[in-house]
Amino acid sequence: MWLLAVGAGVAESVAGAIVAVGDGISMSALAAQLAVRTLVYGGLFVTIDRYFRRGVPWSRYLLAGLLGTVGLVSLVYEPVTWLARNDLTHLDWSAAFLISAALRTVHLSALLAALILSFHPDTNRWFRR
């Protein structure tokens, strides 16, 4: 589930970059943002692949702590603030919105499932072995 969450984050970043290019964002700003995201997603992938999958105990606390707090807030902050300022009649039902909404839904669902499954009794046994 953690890999799905990170993969959905990567897909969401790519889709957002495509929209940003269409909106005329400066290439240097886009490159800087993508560089930071690449480092973050790369670090998360290494943590999941090399440590979490092998049952290294600190990795699940790191993933749950970082992605369960910062990651979760970053996923819900934008939609919640948008809803606080607008109502559903202002939704832009474009293809870009639908793709973004679908990716965000997969991303959020995978994150929540990974958080729950990371502390499941079977997972606890895996990390104690």
pLDDT tens figures, 23-38: 889 999 999 999 999 9
pLDDT given at position 37? 93
Nearest to 33 by CA among 2, 5, 12: 12
The overall average pLDDT reported for the chain is: 92
Q: Is the per-residue pLDDT at 94 higher than 80?
A: yes
The total of structural domains in the chain comes to 1
Helices (H) and strands (E) in the chain, counts: 6, 0
Q: What Å distances lie between residue 24 and 35, 64, 78, 97, CA to CA?
A: 19, 36, 21, 17
Domain of 108, in residue numbers = 2-128
Q: Is the per-residue pLDDT at 53 higher than 90?
A: yes
115 confidence band (pLDDT: 50, 70, 90)? very high
What is the torsional sign of CA 60, 11, 23, 75? Answer: negative
83 confidence band (pLDDT: 50, 70, 90)? confident
Q: What Å distances lie between residue 115 and 51, 75, 77, 98, CA to CA?
A: 16, 14, 18, 26
Cβ–Cβ under 8 Å, residues 62 and 39: no
pLDDT given at position 54? 93
What is the torsional sign of CA 43, 49, 55, 61? Answer: positive
